[in-house]
Amino acid sequence: MLEKIGIFVLFLAPLVFFHELGHFLFARLFGVRVEVFSLGFGPKILKFVKNHTQYAISLIPLGGYVKMFGDDPLAGSEISQDDRKHAFIYKSKWAKFWIVFGGPFANFIFAYFLFFSLLITGEKGPEAKFGSIKEDSYFSKLGVKTGDVLVGFNGQEIHGLTDLAMTNTTKTVETIKVLRKNIPIELKISKNPEEVIKEFLNLSPMLRRPLVVDREGNVWGISLSETNLDLNLSLEELNQEHLGQKIYLKKISYQPLTDEKANSAGELDHIKILSEPPIALEWNENKEEKSIFYFLNKNHYYPLDLVVKSLVLSSPADKIGIKRGDIIVGLNGRPVNSFEEIRDSLQKTPEGKEASVKVVRGNEVLSFKLLPEVSGSEENKVKTMGVFSSGDFVAMNFVVSKAHDPVSAMYFAGKRTMETIYKTLEGFKKLITNEVSIKSMGGPLAIGKVASDSFNISLSYFFKIMAFISINLGIINLFPIPVLDGGHIMFIILEIINRRPLSRRKLELAQQFGLSLLFILIFLALYNDISRLF
């Protein structure tokens, strides 16, 4: 938890610093006295004064502020004639505009700098790999297979997941290009591009290592080769490639992953292939009718992720007697081949009804009845039984793009910045017109999770996400809501139109409305954050 908090602060601090620095520098440029420059809100932890400005780090790291002399439009008459040359309220409308716009502008410049730095050094990010594709699904009908890597979209190269988010969605997708075992394959399609991306992101990205257990708890690696066990060829890929041929099981020494190492990138020191000769399983079934999972289960071998790693104390599973090491092989009268299937099947259990669970324990097959625990909001209910999986997943591969020369990096950084601004504006438009649910909004907890996840993937991915959030922060601050930068710019424009400042009463009403609207948006974002957690 402390590590995640540290990553969140590391992620947010530069965004806040550059935003406030933009206000600060433009204020100084136009001769406005800056009284306080603070990173964070609330009680000041560290502070010092230099050139009439107090610099501070405050307790709550969820923003910051620049306090300028004479920035209260309701207190202009209280400023003496001598001090008015240093007061924000007495500056020209042009100066006010740039001082207010300076914060969002700095966010855009910071994003450009991050993109430029990544381009000249080369980027490392996760490849856009297709997760588990079910039969009769949209991508299956197109000919896409589990494990294919998306490298092209309408003629545009894709170097990773973030590139996919920046693709042109204004025209119908005509082609996608995938890599299958390093062989490029182009597929022709005709579908709304946003639907294609949505279909892609809905695929489960977690592909399981080719590991199974027997009834005695021994762990085996499975392969289609008698001599070679590829631990990065997933169970899902083996299922689509076996073609009814022999399956070889190689016994391994397996050390279960700890929670700290469960998400580590590709470490295999917990797996050791033993020198014992492999076991060959002859395929005697009609491949057209049966999957590899059916064949393995029939021979009493089960995917590793079906093994119960641990239980939540006093959970439904704990209360009925399910134990650590049990292998869950059925739910609600249907066989299950993955922990994901267990989770999905459990959600379909009618609320208030018991679910039937079948487990293998040694040479016994036991049946239980349990009442799932329901959590979450009314619109987002989640049913759980309180078990954790022993799953071991194939680590994601990374795409390393070549470094650009400084001139081309300047061009592409600008292009990427403008594309991100456009995509962000397009996203907010869809939110306002209800094309996208307001439940998709996220607050500090969502940002913290994105920061932590991206940091654990790679530093270049972390900084790329930081650039995206910086642009989001700049655009949000330009919303024409009183108390935000965009609200102040709106007041300046209204002053120009009316040729005089707004009345005291109008300013007070506007600020009250702005604060109320801002609190509602913050509440919705936090509510969505908490709903996703619980």
Paired strand residues for 308: 389
Q: Is position 20 annotated as part of the catalytic site?
A: yes
Say how far apart CA 279 and CA 277 lie, in whole Å.
Answer: 7
Say how far apart CA 106 and CA 30 lie, in whole Å.
Answer: 16
364 Ramachandran zone, left/alpha/beta (phi>0; psi -120 to 50): beta
Tokens linked to 251: 């016994």
Give the closest residue to 455 by CA, choosing from 263, 267, 268. Answer: 263
Neighbour-count burial for 360-386, b at 16+ CB within 10 Å, e otherwise: beeeeeeebebbbeeeeeeeeeebbbb
Q: In a 3-state reduction of DSSP, which class is residue 442?
A: coil
> Quick check: 39 and 47 in contact, CB under 8 A?
no
Say how far apart CA 160 and CA 261 lie, in whole Å.
Answer: 24
Phi, psi of 57 (to 5 degrees): -115, 120
Q: Identify the residue whose tokens are 């071998």.
A: 301
Say how far apart CA 526 and CA 473 lie, in whole Å.
Answer: 16
Cα 358 to chain centroid distance, Å, stands at: 34
Say how far apart CA 16 and CA 63 lie, in whole Å.
Answer: 6
Q: Which stretches of 53-173 are DSSP H helices?
A: 93-121, 138-142, 161-165
Question: CA 35, 41, 43, 47 torsion: positive or negative?
Answer: negative
Check 20, 236, 237, 341 and give the catalytic one: 20
Written as one string, the DSSP assignment of 270-329 is TEEE-SSPPEEE---S-TTT--HHHHHHHTT-EEGGGBEEEE-TTSHHHHHT--TT-EEE
Q: How far, in Å, are 21, 41, 128, 355 from residue 64 at the CA level?
A: 10, 6, 36, 50
CA atoms within 13 A on the CB side of 264: 11
Cα 37 to chain centroid distance, Å, stands at: 32
Q: In a 3-state reduction of DSSP, which class is residue 391?
A: coil
Give the closest residue to 177 by CA, choosing from 156, 157, 151. Answer: 151
Give the closest residue to 67 by CA, choosing from 53, 79, 81. Answer: 53
> Quick check: 276 and 232 in contact, CB under 8 A?
no
List for the chain the helix, strand, coil content (%; round to 5): 40, 25, 35
Q: In this structure, are strands 211-213 and 302-303 parallel, antiparallel, or unpaired?
A: antiparallel
Angle between helix 459-477 and 93-121 (nearest 10)? 160
Which residues are catalytic, by number?
20
